[in-house]
């Protein structure tokens, strides 16, 4: 759970890099995974572990798409600093 809060904090405190944001999101998802696994061990129930496995799969796919989006964005903009993402302001 502390991992989860660290992940959220990481997203908001980020001034420099979108990759850091992506990493924080992955951290959040991983923390939730850990949560699930711990609960399932405590409750002696298999569903938690099943769910954790599926979440892991989905998180992998999502980070793949996130990185692909980042690459496309970089090709157009040439930078991944956070403060330049303000084209659509208003």
51 near another protein (CB under 8 A): yes
Please say whether the beta carbons of 35 and 2 come within 8 A: no
23 near another protein (CB under 8 A): no
How many CA atoms, within 13 angstroms, populate the side-chain half-sphere of residue 43?
11
78 near another protein (CB under 8 A): no
Please say whether the beta carbons of 58 and 38 come within 8 A: no
Report which of 56, 61, 10 is spatially closest to residue 36, judged by C-alpha positions.
Answer: 56
User: Where do contacts with another protein occur on this chain (CB under 8 A)?
Assistant: 4, 7, 11, 18, 21-22, 25, 28-29, 31-32, 35-36, 38-40, 42-43, 45, 47-48, 50-51, 54-55, 58, 61-62, 65-66, 68-70, 72-73, 75-77, 85, 87-90
């Amino acid at each position: 759970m502390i991992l989860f809060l660290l992940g959220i904090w990481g997203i908001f405190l980020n001034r420099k890099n979108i990759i850091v944001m992506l990493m924080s999101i992955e951290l959040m998802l991983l923390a939730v995974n850990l949560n699930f696994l711990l609960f399932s061990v405590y409750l002696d129930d298999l569903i938690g572990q099943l769910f954790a496995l599926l979440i892991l799969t989905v998180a992998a796919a999502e980070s793949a798409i996130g990185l692909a989006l980042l690459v496309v964005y970089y090709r157009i903009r040439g930078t991944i600093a956070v403060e330049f993402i303000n084209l659509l302001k208003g």
